[in-house]
Amino acid sequence: MSIIKAEGIFKTYNETSVPVHALNGVDLEINNGEFMAIVGPSGCGKTTLLNITGGLDLPDKGKIFIDGTNLGGLSSKELIDFRLHNIGFVFQASNLIPVLTVKENIEFIMMLQNRPKAERDGKVEELLNAVGIIGKADYKPGQLSGGQQQRVAVARALATNPRYIIADEPTANLDSASTRELLDLMAEMNEKYGTTFVFATHDQRVMDRAKRIVTLEDGKITGDKTISK
């Protein structure tokens, strides 16, 4: 069953003197429970595509459906709410609110969802355990290593019980040990909760773990292969 369906996506940035055609007709279907990577040279449109599939940006042309909902048909308020309840985000760096502790960073997003205190506490506990940073619950993000911060970001992305997590270069600033740990974690969560993960990455280590690799060049999909391991 497909969770994401992108149909004929075009996106042009007009802010510069020469318009940049970042996406030129992308069709993409992502199935529930996938663990996939979007790869391609720098500037090929990976981030743009990821943002559009995550409801952070809207295409100039084409349609994007998540779980059957046409994102283009939502008001900006509805879109924000939709993201809160359906999509998890892990960015390249500085994912966390610096003034909140690790525990609060995870709890806060559930507060936005108005979930009761007992439920939040249980979930924080569970996720801190799952991502292996239980002893650092009261640390501020600045007191954690880059790898630990990314693991907290994954925990936060999972906290809302999303069907779908997008991660833009989540390993870009990590050493190989941290990268491996983070990938192990995400793969485990993918298995355990059935959460769909979509990465944009240059990182060979990520590609090695992905179960499907979509290649993007000049805003067009030029390759799509499923890896059976």
Ligand X SMILES: Nc1ncnc2c1ncn2[C@@H]1O[C@H](COP(=O)(O)OP(=O)(O)OP(=O)(O)O)[C@@H](O)[C@H]1O
Choose the one of other proteins, ligand X, Mg ion, none that binds residue 228, judging by a C-beta under 5 to 8 angstroms depending on kind. Answer: none
C-alpha–C-alpha distance, residues 198 and 141, integer Å: 24
Binding-site partner at residue 85 among Mg ion, ligand X, other proteins, none, CB < 5 to 8 Å by type:
other proteins
Q: Minimum CB separation from other proteins for residue 34, in Å?
A: 21
Does the protein bind ligand X through residue 47 (CB under 6 A)? yes
Shortest approach of other proteins to residue 80 CB, angstroms? 5
- Residue 108 binds other proteins (CB under 8 A): yes
Closest distance of CB 29 from other proteins, Å: 22
C-alpha–C-alpha distance, residues 180 and 108, integer Å: 27
CB of 21 to other proteins, least distance (A): 16
Interacting partner of 192 out of ligand X, Mg ion, other proteins, none (Cβ under 5 to 8 A depending on kind):
none
Determine which residue in the list 3, 11, 35, 47 makes contact with Mg ion, applying CB under 5 A.
47
Choices 76-84, 143-151, 176-184, 208-216 (CB under 8 A): range interacting with other proteins: 76-84
Site membership for other proteins, residue 61 (CB under 8 A): no
CB burial of residue 81 (10 Å; 0-12, 13-18, 19+) = middle
- Using the rule CB under 8 A, give the single segment among 29-37, 63-71, 91-99, 204-212 that binds other proteins: 91-99
Q: Give me the 7-46 binding string for ligand X, x by CB under 6 A, dash otherwise.
A: ------x-xx---x-x-------------------xxxxx
**Residue 48 near Mg ion by CB under 5 A:** no
- The pair of three-digit structure tokens given for residue 74, joined into one six-digit string: 């939502």
95: tokens are: 């994912």
Residues that bind other proteins (CB under 8 A): 47, 51, 54, 56-57, 77, 80-81, 83-85, 89, 91-95, 97-100, 104, 107-109, 111-113, 156, 160
Residues that bind Mg ion (CB under 5 A): 46-47
